[in-house]
Homo-oligomer: A and B are copies of this chain.
Amino acid sequence: MKISAAESVVMEALWRNSPLTSEAIMSEVCAPQDWTEGTVKVLISRLVKKKAVAAKADGRRYLYSPLLSRRDYVQGESQGLLDRLFDGRLAPLVMHFSDGDTLSDEDVAALKALVERIGK
C-alpha cells in the first residue's frame, strides 16, 4: 500500500526511534508540521490499517513501530522516480544535477569518493 506525504512524516519519526507512543509521535511532529493532535491520530490509524506500522498493546495505549523499513521505502520511492523520469538508470539522474548548477563542491567531492569506492 502506498504511503502518502503526510504519513511519511510520521514514519520518519518512527524510523528515527521506535517504538513510540502516540503522545511521543505527536510531540515530535505536531509542531514542525503545524498539525493538531487529531490529524496525527488519523495518520497513525491509517498507517496501521495499511500495515505500515505495528501497534502493540501496552496497557491502555499502543506502542507503535514501523513494519515497513525506511530502506525499503526509500528504495521504492527512488526506483519509482528513476523509472518514471530517467529510464530506470541512475547516471542520467546524476547528469541532470551536474548539468544544473545545483551541485556544491562538497557534493562533487562526495560523489567522487563514492564512485571510487564503488569501482574498487
Contact = CB atoms under 8 A, between A and B. Distances in A.
Interface of A: 5, 8, 74-75, 77-79, 81, 84-85, 89-91, 93-98, 100, 102-103, 107-108, 110-112, 114-115, 117-119
B78 A96 contact: yes
Contacts of A119: 108, 112
- Going nearest first, the 7 A-B pairs with the smallest beta carbon separation are A91-B110, A115-B115, A98-B118, A81-B81, A111-B115, A74-B85, A91-B111
Contacts of A77: 81, 84-85
A76 B44 CA distance: 28
Nearest to A75: B100
A54 to B, nearest CB: 22
Contacts of A74: 85, 96
A107 B90 contact: yes
Nearest to A80: B81
A9 to B, nearest CB: 9
Contacts of A114: 91, 94-95, 98
